[in-house]
């Protein structure tokens, strides 16, 4: 079965849902396809306190509201979809979904997001949202006056650690090497902060606690000594993985695997746009994803009308 839409959006995170709201409200026949459940990484945030105009709530609740709004304008959403084939370089874009058939569109927005790089430990998974976080801006103020840990040694890790020090009583920065990979200015700023202390050449081996995180366990890579570091919170900053592997031979990616876009969020493929955490950008927040979804949708509309 082949069904045609004006626009198809791949991904139902905040960028994809926002794009769907804008497109469908413009009376464009719009389809959102997601390989999981709508909401993306947003649904993993138990408390969101910095979404403008919205009192503190859960990411899942914001996702539900976005889905309801998109559907109210006539946007169709297919979740838990297994995408078997994509054709994006032709004028008619084509997406084939297992057990659903083939869907075509005149424009397509890639909003597949990405995920923070994890340590891959079972105990890390157990304490996600229970002390372990990957976003200082999202969750830093929940640890005001507490002792926390930050893991990583690049620019983002040190910059975020300095940011966390505005809230926490103490931030212990743990890094796997005996030197930082960050730029000298970032290292200097971190070392000058009296709320930061550093534990170098450490392998993080696990996390312990009861209903919430209590300890970060490390092993000294030189001596083999084991440390149990008291911590009510742990922020992991060891990189970010964009969900773009399926597009690597189709649209232009940078050396980090992010989709390269122009100011209109257009890719190098005519009629294909990108929005959200999968594209080349520095700041990744729900609000920036929503902004991307808005721009991509309005640009896609202009493209359909021959104005772009």
Active-site annotation, residues: 135, 138-139
Residue 215: CB atoms within 10 A of its CB come to 18
Chain centroid to CA 127: 19
Chain centroid to CA 23: 22
Residues 6+ apart with CB under 8 A from 188: none
Residues 6+ apart with CB under 8 A from 166: 140
Q: Are 41 and 15 in contact (CB under 8 A)?
A: no
Rounded distance between C-alpha atoms, residue 61 and residue 64, angstroms: 5
Handedness of CA 268, 115, 142, 230 (dihedral sign): negative
Residue 92: CB atoms within 10 A of its CB come to 10
Q: Are 301 and 138 in contact (CB under 8 A)?
A: no
Q: Are 267 and 88 in contact (CB under 8 A)?
A: no
Rounded distance between C-alpha atoms, residue 110 and residue 93, angstroms: 12
């Amino acid at each position: 079965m082949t069904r045609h839409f004006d626009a198809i959006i791949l991904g139902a995170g905040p960028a994809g849902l926002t794009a769907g709201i804008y497109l469908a409200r413009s009376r464009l026949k719009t389809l959102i396809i997601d390989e999981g459940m709508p909401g993306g990484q947003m649904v993993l945030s138990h408390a969101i306190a910095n979404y403008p105009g919205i009192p503190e709530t859960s990411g899942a609740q914001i996702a539900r509201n976005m889905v309801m709004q998109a559907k109210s304008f006539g946007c169709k959403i297919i979740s838990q979809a297994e995408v078997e084939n994509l054709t994006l370089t032709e004028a008619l874009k084509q997406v084939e979904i297992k057990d659903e058939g083939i869907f075509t569109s005149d424009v397509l927005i890639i909003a597949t997001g990405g995920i923070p790089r994890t340590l891959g430990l079972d105990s890390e998974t157990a304490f996600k949202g229970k002390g372990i976080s990957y976003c200082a801006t999202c969750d830093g103020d929940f640890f005001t006056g507490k002792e926390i840990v930050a893991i990583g040694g690049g620019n983002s890790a040190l910059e975020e650690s300095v940011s966390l020090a505005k809230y926490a009583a103490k931030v212990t920065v743990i890094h796997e090497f005996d030197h930082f990979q960050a730029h000298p200015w970032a290292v200097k700023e971190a070392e000058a902060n009296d709320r930061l202390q550093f534990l170098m050449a450490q392998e993080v081996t696990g996390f312990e606690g009861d209903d919430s995180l209590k300890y970060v366990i490390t092993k000294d890579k030189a001596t083999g000594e084991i440390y149990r570091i008291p911590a009510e919170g742990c922020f992991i900053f060891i990189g970010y993985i964009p969900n773009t592997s399926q597009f690597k031979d189709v649209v232009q990616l940078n050396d980090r695997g992010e989709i390269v876009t122009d100011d209109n969020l257009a890719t190098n493929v005519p009629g294909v746009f990108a929005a959200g955490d999968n594209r080349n950008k520095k700041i990744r927040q729900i609000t920036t994803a929503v902004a991307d979804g808005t721009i991509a949708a309005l640009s896609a509309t202009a493209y359909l009308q021959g104005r772009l």
